[in-house]
Amino acid sequence: MIISNNKNHSYSPAIIWVAFLNIFHRISEKVRKAKYLIYPIGLVLLSGKRNGGVPVIEVTFLGSGGGRFITITQFRSTGGFFIRASINMYVDPGPGALVRSWRYKLDPRKLDVIFVSHRHVDHCNDAEIMIEAMTGGALKKRGVLIASKSVVYGDNSYNPAVSKYHLDSLEEVHTPEPGNRLSLGEEELTITPSMHSDPTTIGFRMGTRFGDISYIPDTQYFDELKKWHEGSRLMIIAITRPRDMRIPYHLCTEDVVYMLKTMRQKPEVIVMNHIGMKMHFANPYKEAKFIENITGVKTFVAKEGFKVMMNKKEVAVKTLRPARFV
């Protein structure tokens, strides 16, 4: 520290800025070292909560597209989405996840958890680079990966989506089964099943202080799906196909209408995600209006920069402008 007895002496902005950064670094390092508490039974509990007591849960979409042709053409971006609760979690970092995170000032270095539902490229393409961001360039052993078995181990059709080098940089790696529960800060994640061409595909139901958030990734409809997600306040659903265009292993508009109509406790809001090429050209906003008119559930279509904010009183939405173009 520089001490001066000259009352008229003033320090340059550069010196003040360097001093501030030094103090900030020391505090950050102490917080980082105290952050993880790993329970011996294998469940993850992130303590030293980063965003503890947040007044709102935020979900920011860095894309809304899905399927090979939307991914190839990028008619809709395919970056997945970011959940800011007591912890920061990135879900399904497909192509463009890193670039679009920076575009909307969501620093991937501040991630605590990455969730990857399955091995298909539109869900996992940027998984490794997002892990590198979360682990400080793979120089710090930190962060949690929750992923399907196919993402970590590969299968008959695919190699693993994440290399051993990247796995070794993580604090924890989990390949849970449906029904497993993981504690993440103030939230609890319940793993849910899917019926997809990748048989290890998983979704989740996140319990938060303001209600549950369900993520239903690629799946065809099956009766148990409703039971796993009924009662969630916000549902993010991969609805790949419009009416009268159902294909195996994916949901279409009619499937979602049927599921919602048979629920006793409907969600407050659903967000249509993973828009395929057929849905894109059929006008997903018309499909959303159809779902809303039939079921009475407020329905939105995700897009890049679309943000959902959930607190005790309401679920609100807004569309962000890019903070920077990269």
Res 22: pLDDT: 60
b/e code 147-163 from CB counts within 10 Å (16+ = b): bbbbbbbebeebebbbe
User: Residue 167 is inside which H or E element, if any?
Assistant: helix 164-168
Res 48: pLDDT: 42
Q: Is the pTM of the predicted complex or chain greater than 0.95?
A: no
Domains of the chain: residue spans and CATH: 39-319 (3.60.15.10)
Q: Specify the pairing of strand 144-147 against strand 113-116.
A: parallel
SS3 278: helix
Which residues of the chain carry a pLDDT beneath 70? 1-52, 326
Looking at residue 321, what DSSP letter applies? P
CB atoms within 10 A of CB 324: 8
Looking at residue 196, what DSSP letter applies? S
Res 242: pLDDT: 98
pLDDT digits (tens, 9 = 90+) for 133-165: 999 999 999 999 999 999 999 999 999 999 999
Four-residue CA torsion sign, 84, 89, 94, 97: positive
Would you say 187 and 214 are in contact if contact means Cβ atoms under 8 Å apart? no
pLDDT digits (tens, 9 = 90+) for 202-239: 999 999 999 999 999 999 999 999 999 999 999 999 99
